[in-house]
């Protein structure tokens, strides 16, 4: 099994995906253990002093003015976890919770939080045992950290609340810890607060969204090329010299991908045939510009994620010179903005894909294809309602593109009076990515059928490879009407699993 070693300088996006989705094993580096011990010594020294220090010997948020006596501090740390574990609604997906816990461990190991090494080891042990705290959909405002989600995770470390075992069965957390010989943690000064105070949930979802979108943007370039081919469009608009004079990197990459897919096609460039065209429609001709803008948005989001992955997000923090200082680094605005930006770009990519699908089905605009790509139009409806489904998904994508980060709602008696809503931005982006996958799958289904209906002209070798692979995956080709939902589900699985890109690249070489 792959092992991820957590040190003091952060982790990579690949590490997050490996732990969240592939159950990679976690180890703490010697450097991290030493940094944990050193920072803890600072906290212990401050805890022994009579002066109040926020998070060490005071209450929290609007209650930070109360000085807490030594005999009540362990209770204070337990209480913050119990009271903040106030989530409601459906359970959050296992991969999100694992990413959330792993990223909190990453910050703990930075040596800036003052948490003892044994707490960090317990966090790693819980993840390695496949124990997943029950975390709920609602409870984070994306400021002072993803408080409720992280609190439910901390509750599991204490042996309280519910968690899911490696067998997928939910049970009391204490029983699951005991079954794996993991001792519950007894929290000391600052540790409860340190386990709750980070952008880990929204960051974990951002990292996984970028991994999913990497596949989807390549897939969308492929389906756009297939649609161009099925519509007898021209590949001349993809020429590198045209994109060099507007040098957006994503645009050039998308155009190059489409050109690679179309290489050797007999279907492209028929503008001067029986139904002459001067230019293709925007949804065909401008595909690289739209997908490319989304790719450049991803590049910015990836930069933000990389910076956040290298960050220690907590309040207060232990600085290298031994000071413990309050700060606002837990605010989720940097992550929230790019989560919303990605949802906007995804909605536009879905929208242009749907327009190409509609063009393939309309006999007045498809340049010779049968209405709705039906076998016997009138008797058969063909893919008419597949486009309805795609349109419904696009419409929801537009609603999901409304920014969450433009909102704020005050909390904690106006102490936390401006929040990021980054968790909400991340949750809706996950739904948007699911929808975008389905939208691309419908375009794939329509475009491959359209190409097969162009008798007498050979598609590009890459297109032929896609058609062969998607048919082998259970997505049927042209013919009389049949139960369509299974075909669409198979196309969805084909795109979602990366099989579309895998089918093309042996012919085209690696796509950008």
Q: Alpha helix locations (H) across 263-315? A: 282-285, 287-309
Return d(Cα 286, Cα 326) in angstroms, integer.
49
DSSP per position, 381-442:
-TTHHHHHHHHHHHHHHHHHTS-STT----BTTTTB-----HHHHHHHHHHHHHHHHHHHHH
Write out the two tokens for 413: 């008696």
Return d(Cα 397, Cα 399) in angstroms, integer.
5
Return d(Cα 106, Cα 8) in angstroms, integer.
8
Return d(Cα 400, Cα 341) in angstroms, integer.
11
Return d(Cα 298, Cα 186) in angstroms, integer.
41
Write down the residue that tokens 């790019």 correspond to: 338
- Write the CA distances from 122 to 55, 141, 148, 178, integer angstroms: 21, 27, 20, 12
Query: What are the residues whose beta carbons fall under 8 Å from the beta carbon of 145, sequence distance 6 or more?
Result: 196, 197, 198, 199, 200, 313, 330
Return d(Cα 413, Cα 86) in angstroms, integer.
17
**What is residue 377's DSSP assignment?**
B
337 is catalytic: no
**Is 131 in a helix, a strand, or coil?**
coil
| Residue in 54, 282, 337, 388 annotated catalytic | 54
Cis (ω within 30 of 0) for the bond into 316?
Answer: yes
Write out the two tokens for 64: 């930070």
Whether 350 contacts 439, CB under 8 Å? yes
Whether 139 contacts 149, CB under 8 Å? yes
Cα dihedral 475, 480, 486, 488 sign: positive
Q: Which residues are catalytic?
A: 54
């Amino acid at each position: 099994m792959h092992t991820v070693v957590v040190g003091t300088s952060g982790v990579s996006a690949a590490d997050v995906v490996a732990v969240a989705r592939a159950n990679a094993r976690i180890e703490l580096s010697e450097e991290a253990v030493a940094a944990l011990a050193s920072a803890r010594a600072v906290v212990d020294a401050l805890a022994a002093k009579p002066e109040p220090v926020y998070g060490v010997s005071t209450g929290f948020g609007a209650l930070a003015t109360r000085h807490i006596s030594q005999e009540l501090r362990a209770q204070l740390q337990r209480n913050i976890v119990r009271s903040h574990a106030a989530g409601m609604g459906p359970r959050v997906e296992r991969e999100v919770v694992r990413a959330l816990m792993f990223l909190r461990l990453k910050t703990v190991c930075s040596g800036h939080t003052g948490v003892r090494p044994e707490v960090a080891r317990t966090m790693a042990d819980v993840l390695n045992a496949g124990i997943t705290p029950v975390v709920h959909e609602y409870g984070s405002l994306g400021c002072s950290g993803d408080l409720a989600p992280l609190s439910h995770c901390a509750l599991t470390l204490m042996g309280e609340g519910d968690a899911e075992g490696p067998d997928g069965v939910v049970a009391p957390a204490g029983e699951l810890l005991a079954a794996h010989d993991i001792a519950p943690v007894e929290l000391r000064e600052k540790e409860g607060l340190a386990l709750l105070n980070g952008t880990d949930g929204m960051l974990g979802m951002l990292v996984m969204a970028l991994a999913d979108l990497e596949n989807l943007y390549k897939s969308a370039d492929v389906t756009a090329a297939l649609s161009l081919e099925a519509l007898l469009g021209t590949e001349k608009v993809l020429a590198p010299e045209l994109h060099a004079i507007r040098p957006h990197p994503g645009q050039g990459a998308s155009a190059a991908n489409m050109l690679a897919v179309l290489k050797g096609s007999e279907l492209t460039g028929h503008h001067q045939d029986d139904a002459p065209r001067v230019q293709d429609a925007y949804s065909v001709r401008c595909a690289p510009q739209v997908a490319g803008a989304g790719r450049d948005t991803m590049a910015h989001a990836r930069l933000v994620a990389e910076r956040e992955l290298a960050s220690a997000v907590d309040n207060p923090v232990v600085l290298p010179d031994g000071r413990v200082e309050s700060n606002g680094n837990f605010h989720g605005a940097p992550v929230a903005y790019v989560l919303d930006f990605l949802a906007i770009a995804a909605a536009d990519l879905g929208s242009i894909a749907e327009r190409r699908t509609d063009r393939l089905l309309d006999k007045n605009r498809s340049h010779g294809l049968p209405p709705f790509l039906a076998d016997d139009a009138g008797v058969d409806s063909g893919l008419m309602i597949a486009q309805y489904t795609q349109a419904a998904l696009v419409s929801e994508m537009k609603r999901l593109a409304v920014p969450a980060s433009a909102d704020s709602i005050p909390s904690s008696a106006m102490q936390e009076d401006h929040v990021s809503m980054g968790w909400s931005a991340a949750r809706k982006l996950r739904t948007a990515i699911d929808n975008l996958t389905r939208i691309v799958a419908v375009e794939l289904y329509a475009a491959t059928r359209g190409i097969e209906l162009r008798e007498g002209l050979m598609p590009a070798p890459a297109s032929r490879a896609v058609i062969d692979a998607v048919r082998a995956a259970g997505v049927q080709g042209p013919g009389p009407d049949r139960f369509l939902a299974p075909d669409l589900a198979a196309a969805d699985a084909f795109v979602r699993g990366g099989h579309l890109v895998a089918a093309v690249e042996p012919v085209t070489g690696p796509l950008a």
